[in-house]
């Protein structure tokens, strides 16, 4: 049986559409991290005023490009979280995390940045956000076996873990892949953002 002309034309048109339809581009990552402390101290002395300044010529800065080596990143994960009293949020770096544009699984960490987005308000917002998990204990701190060890982040504070060398901080499945953030308050909500860069 002959195929009607209209069906043959439709098949050719669909084949052409598939052949020339653009494929999704592979994501690339680039950027920089800068930490620039600036401090000025002024004091009154016998012959006038003395001023000491630090920071103008000593910023820490690292620019990274796309890839898996020295000063390179090709995977990104970011999350914004509100934690109720005593609640915890865990991230398995060796598992699938939903990044801004794609799902990612890390084998090497370039940077983990946790920023508290709470406004410090004296006694009403004085609880810590505790950072722990086997990635922190065995990979970042290196060799600690005490599960009770936690890194506190106070309201308005931040934690920067940076390893821009080619090795970075390796992620080890099961024993060194989980980072857990816990609200140390039983009543108040804490808020934070987390950014993970790696490959």
Domains in the chain: boundaries: 67-198
Which pLDDT does position 15 carry in this prediction? 41
**Which pLDDT tens digit goes with each residue over 140-192?**
988 666 677 899 999 889 999 999 999 999 999 999 999 999 999 888 889 99
User: Are 128 and 184 within 8 A, CB to CB?
Assistant: yes
Q: Averaged over 89-107, what is the pLDDT? A: 94
The tally of CA atoms less than 13 A away on the side-chain side of residue 117 is 11
- Residue 5 reports pLDDT greater than 50: no
The CATH number for 67-198, chosen from 3.40.50.300, 3.40.640.10, 2.60.120.770, 3.20.20.100, is 2.60.120.770
How far apart are alpha carbons 24 and 30 in whole angstroms? Answer: 19
Give the C-alpha distances (Å, rounded to integers) separating 149 from 131, 134, 141, 145, 180.
9, 10, 10, 9, 12
- Residue 40 reports pLDDT greater than 50: yes
- Residue 21 reports pLDDT greater than 50: no
- Residue 85 reports pLDDT greater than 80: yes
């Amino acid at each position: 049986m002959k195929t009607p002309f209209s069906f043959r034309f439709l098949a050719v048109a669909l084949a052409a559409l598939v052949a020339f339809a653009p494929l999704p581009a592979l994501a690339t990552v680039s950027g920089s991290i800068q930490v620039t402390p600036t401090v000025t101290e002024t004091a009154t002395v016998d012959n006038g005023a003395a001023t000491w300044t630090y920071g103008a010529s000593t910023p820490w800065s690292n620019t990274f490009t796309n890839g898996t080596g020295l000063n390179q990143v090709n995977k990104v994960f970011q999350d914004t979280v509100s934690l109720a009293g005593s609640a915890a949020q865990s991230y398995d770096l060796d598992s699938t995390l939903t990044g801004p544009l794609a799902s990612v699984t890390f084998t090497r960490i370039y940077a983990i940045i946790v920023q508290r987005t709470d406004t410090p308000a004296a006694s009403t917002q004085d609880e810590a956000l505790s950072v722990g998990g086997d990635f922190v204990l065995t990979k970042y701190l290196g060799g600690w076996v005490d599960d009770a060890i936690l890194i506190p982040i106070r309201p308005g504070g931040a934690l920067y873990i940076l390893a821009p060398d080619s090795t970075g901080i390796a992620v080890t499945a099961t024993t060194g892949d989980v980072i857990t953030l816990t609200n140390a308050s039983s009543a108040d909500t804490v808020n934070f953002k987390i950014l993970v860069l790696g490959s």
